[in-house]
Chain A
Amino acid sequence: MSHHAEPRPTESRFWTPGVMVMVCFMLAGGVALMARFIGGLGYATNLTDAYPWGLWIGIDVATGVALAAGGFSTAALAHIFGGHRYEAVTRPALLTAALGYTFVAIGIFVDIGRPWAIWKPMFFHNYTSVLFEVAMCVMTYLTVLWLEFVPIAAERWGEKIRLLGFLGRISTKVMSVLIVLGVVLSFMHQSGLGGLMLIAPTKLHPLWYTPLLPLLFLLSAISVGYPMVIFETGVATKSLKLESEMDILGPLSRFTILLLGIYMAVKLGDMFYRGTHVYLLDGTMQSNAFLLEVGLGVILPWLLILSPKTRRSRTRLFTAGALIVGGIVLNRVNVFLIGFTPPLADRPYFPSFAEVLVTAGFVATIMFLYRVAVTYLPVLSARSKEVSV
C-alpha cells in the first residue's frame, strides 16, 4: 500500500565514539544515583522546604512527558486521521515515547522520598488530586505504549520467543483500541501536568499562572509532537548515516504551523487578557526566561516554518524544530523551576551536581537504548533513493 520501504533494523556499527560518551554519562549518572539512594535526597540534591521540586521533576518528569508527545501526535495523525504517508515516523516516535515515559517513571521513583511506597497511589486514591490523575494516566499510558511496541519486537523475535509472538498477535488485534486510548490518556495527563500548579497561585509567577495552564500544556504538547519527530529524525539520520526523510518531515511541519499557531495565540492572548505583559520588561530572571521561551521557542520558529523555503531545507527545518523543542523544554522548566517563586525563600534553587549528573545520565540512557532498539529492531524505515520519491 505504502510506497515506502518497510521498517527494518539499521544494523549499522554500534560502538561509535558518540555511544562511548553516552556510556560515560550513564556511568556518572549511576554513581550519582547511588549517592541519592545511600545518602538520601538531602545528601544528593539541593532541594529545600521552600523548593520541594527540583531538576528531576522539572526535566526528567515534566519535560520528559512533553517531549514524548511525538508518540501520540504521530499515532493520531497516521492511524486515526488516516495520514498513512506519515506511518514511517510513527515507529521511532513510539519508541521515543515508550523510552521517555519509562524514564519518567524511573525519574519519579528516584525523586520521591519513599520509592518503596510508589505503588501506594494504586490503592489509596485521592480524587481531588491532580497529581493522582496524572500518575494514573502516566502509569496506564506507559503500559499502553509498551503494548503498542510489542508487535514491533515480535516481528523480529516472535518466531524464537513464543510468548512474545503470542503477545504481539493479541496486541495487534486490540491495536485500534490501544492507539485511541493512548491519545486520550495523553490528552488527560498532558493537561493534568499543567493543572499541577493551579493549586499554588501565590508561588507560580503570574506570567505562567493562569487558569488556562492545563490547556496551554495540552496545546504545547500537541504542537511539540511533530517538531520533536523532526528533531530526533534529524539527529538519528545524521548519527546513523541514513537517508533524509524530508519528503515526510516537510509536509509534517505544515501541521505545526497551525498547531503551534494555536498554542502561541492562546498563550499570548491569555497574557494580554490577564494583563501580565506588564511584567515582560521588568528585567527579572523570570521575565527574561519568559521572553526567551516565547520569543525564541515559539514566535521565531513559527515565523520560520511559515516560509516554504524552511520546510524544504533539511537544516532550516531541523533548526526550527530544535527551537520549538527548546521552547517547550524551557516552558516546563519555567513553570516548575524558574517561575516557581515561593514568597518566603532565603535563596533560589539551583540543582546540585548530582542532580545534573542523574538527569544527564537518564538522557544518555534513553539515547543509548534508542540506538540499541533501532539497531536490532524494525523501527526506522531505512530507504534507498530508488524507493523514496
Chain B
Amino acid sequence: MNMTRRVFLSGLGASALAGAAGPAQAWESKAPDDPLGCLVDLARCTGCRKCEQACNNVNDLPEPDTLFTDLRLLDVKRRPDAGAYTVVNRYFPGKVDDENQLIPVHVKVQCMHCQDPACASACITGALSKKDNGTVHYDVSKCIGCRYCMVACPFQIPAYEYHKTVTPKVMKCTFCFDRLEEGKKPGCAEICPVEAITFGKRSMLLELARRRIRNDPGRYVDHIYGEKEAGGTSWLYVSPVPFHQLGFIDVPDFPMPRLSESIHKAVYSYLWAPVALFGMLYGVKSYNDRRDQKQAGQGGAQ
C-alpha cells in the first residue's frame, strides 16, 4: 500500500517532468517557402502504370521482372522498393457503377517530399536534405548506410538495396531533382496521359485541389492528403474515397522532427548542458579529492 502511494506520487513528479520536456516553442520549421510539388488526383488516375515506366527510364532503374504493360500487378499491394521509386496499386473501396461493378481507385505511391522531412532530420551525415525546390534529396556520397532514415520516415518510403554487398544505396523517389534543376518536369508527371499528376508550386496546387473539391464535392472527399500530414508535404493527394480505405498511413499533423529537435536543441544549444554537468562533476570531484588528501595528511600526522 505504502509502495503504491509512493509510485503514484513519483508519477506526478514524472508528469511534471513530461510537461517540462514537451515540445518547446523555440522549434522553427526549415521548410522552403513555396516549393514545387505535385498534386495526385486519384479520381483521374486510370492505373496505366506509365508513371512507373517513365520513372524507371528517367532514373535508370533496373528493368523489372514483369512488363509495365502487365496491369495484373495493380492488384498486388506493392510498396516502393529498391527497384522502383513509385508503384501504382488498385483498390476497390466499394463504390459500384450503374452495372453494379466495383469501381477501382488507383493509388500512386512515392516519396511525399515532406516540408520538414523526418529522414533529413535523422540522417547522421546530412546525406538527405530538403532542397529549396521542394525535393528531399539523397546524396549517396555522404551515406554510410545506417538506415535511420528508414526508421524515421512516417510514410515508410525509403527502401534499401540489401542485396548489394559493397555499395548499397537508399532508394527513394528523387522528385527528378536533376530534371527540375534543368527546368523540366518530373518523369511521372510528364508521362501521365490524364494529368492525374499536376506539377507546380505547392501553393498553387493547394488552391487547385481546394477548387476541385469545391467544384465537385460529389467526386472528392474533403481532405487533401499532404496538406497537413507530417506538417505538410510537397506531394499532395485528392481522392474520391477516404484515404484510409486506400492504404494511406494515418500520419499526425505535426512535423515529425519537432519533438526530437526541440529536446535536442534545449539540451545541446551551445553545449550548455554537457558543459554545466562537466563543471559540476569536476567541482564535486575536486572537493572530494582535496578532502581525501587532507584526511590522508591528518592520518599520516597521527
Contacts and interface: CB of A to CB of B under 8 A. Distances in A.
B124 A135 contact: yes
Taking chain A's interface residues, is the majority helix, strand, or loop, or is none over half, making it mixed? helix
A80 B288 contact: yes
Interface stretch (B163-171, B178-186, B217-225): B163-171
A114 B161 CA distance: 11
A179 B285 contact: yes
Nearest to A191: B267
B163 A40 contact: yes
B260 A199 contact: yes
22 contacts: A41-B162, A42-B161, A47-B160, A80-B288, A112-B144, A113-B145, A114-B167, A114-B168, A125-B125, A128-B120, A128-B261, A129-B124, A133-B268, A197-B151, A211-B23, A211-B263, A262-B10, A268-B14, A269-B14, A270-B14, A340-B151, A343-B250
Contacts of B257: 128, 199
Interface of A: 1, 37-43, 45, 47-50, 52-53, 76, 79-82, 84, 108, 111-118, 120-121, 124-126, 128-133, 135, 176-177, 179-181, 183-184, 187-188, 191, 195-203, 210-212, 214-215, 261-262, 264-270, 272-274, 303, 340, 342-344
B126 interface: yes
Nearest to B162: A42
Interface string B12-26: 111101100111000
Interface of B: 3, 6-8, 10-15, 17-18, 21-23, 79, 81-82, 118, 120-127, 142-148, 150-152, 154, 156, 158-168, 247, 249-252, 256-257, 259-261, 263-264, 267-268, 274, 277-278, 281-282, 284-286, 288-289, 291-292, 296
B11 A202 contact: no
Contacts, number: 234
Given A121-B124, A183-B281, 12 more contacts: A42-B162, A52-B160, A125-B125, A126-B126, A132-B125, A196-B151, A199-B151, A199-B257, A261-B10, A266-B17, A268-B7, A344-B249
A265 B7 CA distance: 5
Given A82-B292, A129-B121, A129-B124, A200 B165 contact: no
Contacts of B158: 49
A198 B286 CA distance: 37
A37 to B, nearest CB: 7
Given A50-B156, A201-B252, A265-B13, A124 B264 contact: no
B121 A84 contact: no
Contacts of A201: 154, 252, 256, 259
Contacts of B121: 128-129, 199
A183 B174 CA distance: 42
Contacts of A188: 274
Contacts of A128: 120-121, 257, 261, 264
Contacts of B17: 212, 215, 266
B288 to A, nearest CB: 4
Contacts of A202: 154, 249-252
Contacts of A340: 151
B192 to A, nearest CB: 25
Residue in B124, B257, B268 with the greatest tally of chain A CB atoms within 10 Å = B124
Contact of A40 (B7, B12, B164): B164
Interface centre among B123, B168, B285, by most chain A C-beta atoms within 10 angstroms, is B285
A39 B15 CA distance: 49
Given A52-B150, A113-B145, A264 B7 contact: yes
Given A128-B264, A198-B260, A180 B285 contact: yes
Given A200-B118, A211-B22, A344-B249, A49 B79 contact: yes
A124 B162 contact: no
B21 A212 contact: yes
A278 to B, nearest CB: 16
Nearest to A39: B165
B277 A176 contact: no
